[in-house]
Structure 1
Amino acid sequence: MTANEYRAPSGRPPAQIPWLAYRFTRSDAVAAGYYVLFLLLLSFVPIDIPGLSALIPDPLVAAYVINLAFYAVGGVLALIAARAYVAREARILATRPVLSAALIPIGVILTIIASMVGLIITGEAETAVNQEAVQGLVTQMSPWLVVPLVVVLAPFVEEYIFRHLLIGKLSRYWNTWACCILSVLLFASIHIVGKESLSLPVLMPYLATGAVLVGMYVWAGNNFMLSYGVHAAKNLLSVVIIYAVPPELLQQ
């Protein structure tokens, strides 16, 4: 089976389906604008929501509530903007359920391999502040609270922004390869922006993950529901490992 055959029941790439042409809409502008604005605010501007510290004295829980609210609103806006694509791409995946189900663990394995190769290239491992924050969140909060944020909401919003918009729609106006590179670079950068300086050892795990997600997305004919499935599964695996492995071993 070729990638072309996987793209749509008609055998045509999504961009050739008239009723679902990859054009930017006002809903896309609202969703993307919200994401960029609040991401910059959360990254660079100390936010002290009036009454939040009194209501939630634990800084970790407060950070969780802020991030949950950010991604929940972002997820709703992304779903409104991309609902037609979500429905169609889910139907495409459902036409070949065995292949679709197999591609998700394959994608996760590829991200692990890519990260290992990146580690060999850089020659050193350096944990990003963002990763440390996620580990702290996971180890100190219930999985019933962590999974909806880390596994369900965040990957959906990020796949909508970095794959669906930056590749699927932007490639109508710009070179596809350039869009793919931009997607990988921006995806990696947003995970450390405002938290620490850009360095290859810190960026490499996110670059590797972003490259695999871009590859899966493009191979499947710009199907961001597939890349979302891989992204969500990869995050779920990380959460399970953090819960299963003792903290002292994680530090090593």
Structure 2
Amino acid sequence: MLILMNAHQPPPVPNPYGPTPQSQPQQWPGSTQGNPPYGAGGHGAASQGHPGPGYGYPNQPPQGYGQPPQGYGPPPGWQPAPRKRQQDSDPGRFTWWDLGAVLFYVVGFIIGGIQLLALIPLSGMLNSADQTVQEQGLFLLNAISYGLLAAVAFSLSGFALWRSIKALAYLWWLKLLLIPVAWVVLIIFNAVLVTVVSMATGEELAQSENQQSIEAMLSAVPFLAAVVVIALLGPYVEEYFFRHLLVGKLSRHINVWICAAISVITFPLLHFIPALMGLVDDLSLITVIPYVTMGILFTVAYIVTGRNLFYAWLLHAFNNFMSLVNMYFLLPWVEERFGPLEPMIRAAVLA
């Protein structure tokens, strides 16, 4: 009778707080010590000579105490999402078409081939006795030159331009915000640097012949026409040759910072071609400084943003656009009320 009663007794309930020293510890999967996977502060950890993990969060088991129960950790094969970072715009390889564009730029623009062809229909305006008509003819000559060069640049760099637009999405708001900030810093830095150099060398503060001729030419044309040629077409042509080709594509073969130095050195020379040819005498350290600092700013921005042609164009275009705004609106208003400005200030603002 006693045997039958014992046979119908329910099995003992296991201790939910872990095995006691008197009982055989249960072997948990993945555990070499026979402890629960994360220990509820029972006797299992203490019985094996390990400090009990207490009532910690079960998703973080101590080392050597087994694996957490299924459903508490990430699923098999889970990987954290990759962090976004600046992408390279991939300017591509230097092609024969690029070489042809360079030759066209040197022969047609720097040497003057395009100007010679455009002189035929514009000869009447350029030889006019009216100074305003002459300046308008000179502007049309530059518009034709930049228009042809911009058409070549856009056709050869269209895909790279589109890739750079897509790459601009990373921190786009910060990049756009830095454009006006960089412009203001550049003006202040140029003004201070030119003043220091003038005091150290005794060189007189003055605008270059190139800058003076630009002001005279733009005084005879509408503001919107100047924006199209000076603030849109001109910057893209220069960024295509001095950043996209000299830095972007050449950096596939030479260190990118060596390419940057080449770009910074050659960029000011474009604006002093008449001086290099001996036609004018305006090449000096003070007149070169604004173009050198601009070249450094555009080149560094191009490299830091992942050889981004679109961003370099935006930065260059904004600089030229603000110079036009100052030339057409701000400086006339200031000089009308306070008198002529110092040449150093005009050069820094209009560079």
TM band (smaller chain)? 0.7 to 0.9
Runs of 4+ in 1 over 6 A off after TM superposition: 45-48
The alpha-carbon deviation at position 251 of structure 1 amounts to: 6.6
Q: Residues 6 and 139 (structure 1 numbering): CA distance in 2 closer, same or farther, change over 3 Å?
A: farther
Indicate the residue corresponding to 1:201 in structure 2.
Answer: 286
The alpha-carbon deviation at position 42 of structure 1 amounts to: 3.0
Secondary structure of the residue aligned to 1:146 is helix
Q: Which amino acid aligns with 1:108?
A: W
The Cα RMSD (Å) is 2.5
- Check the 8 A contact 1:72/1:153 in 2, yes or no: yes
Indicate the residue corresponding to 1:33 in structure 2.
Answer: 103
Alignment match of 1:249 (pick from 340, 343, 347): 340
Q: Residues 21 and 66 (structure 1 numbering): CA distance in 2 closer, same or farther, change over 3 Å?
A: closer
* Uncovered stretches (5+) of structure 2, i.e. residues with no partner: 1-82, 199-203, 344-351
For structure 1, which segment, 85-94 or 103-112, has the greater mean C-alpha deviation from structure 2 after superposition?
A: 103-112
Q: Which amino acid aligns with 1:241?
A: N
When the two structures are superposed, what TM-score results if normalisation uses the length of structure 2? Answer: 0.62
Alignment match of 1:171 (pick from 243, 251, 264): 251
Structure with the bigger RCO (C-alpha within 8 Å, sep 6+) is 1
When the two structures are superposed, what TM-score results if normalisation uses the length of structure 1? Answer: 0.85
Percent identity of the aligned residues? 28
Q: Which amino acid aligns with 1:37?
A: V
Alignment match of 1:104 (pick from 160, 176, 179): 179
Alignment of 1:228 onto 2:313: yes
- 1:185-223 Cα deviation digits (max 9, x unpaired): 111111011243532111111001111111111111111
Indicate the residue corresponding to 1:140 in structure 2.
Answer: 220
In terms of fraction of residues, the more helix-rich structure is 1
Alignment match of 1:59 (pick from 94, 111, 134): 134
Q: How many residues align?
A: 239
Task: Name the CA distance, whole Å, in 1 between partners of 2:234 and 2:210.
Answer: 13
Q: Which amino acid aligns with 1:186?
A: T
- 1:81-134 Cα deviation digits (max 9, x unpaired): 111110011112235431232122123123223322431342253311111112
The alpha-carbon deviation at position 150 of structure 1 amounts to: 0.4
Indicate the residue corresponding to 2:120 in structure 1.
Answer: 50
Task: Name the CA distance, whole Å, in 2 between partners of 1:223 and 1:169.
Answer: 12
The alpha-carbon deviation at position 250 of structure 1 amounts to: 5.2
* Uncovered stretches (5+) of structure 1, i.e. residues with no partner: 15-19
- Check the 8 A contact 2:92/2:160 in 1, yes or no: no
Indicate the residue corresponding to 1:92 in structure 2.
Answer: 167
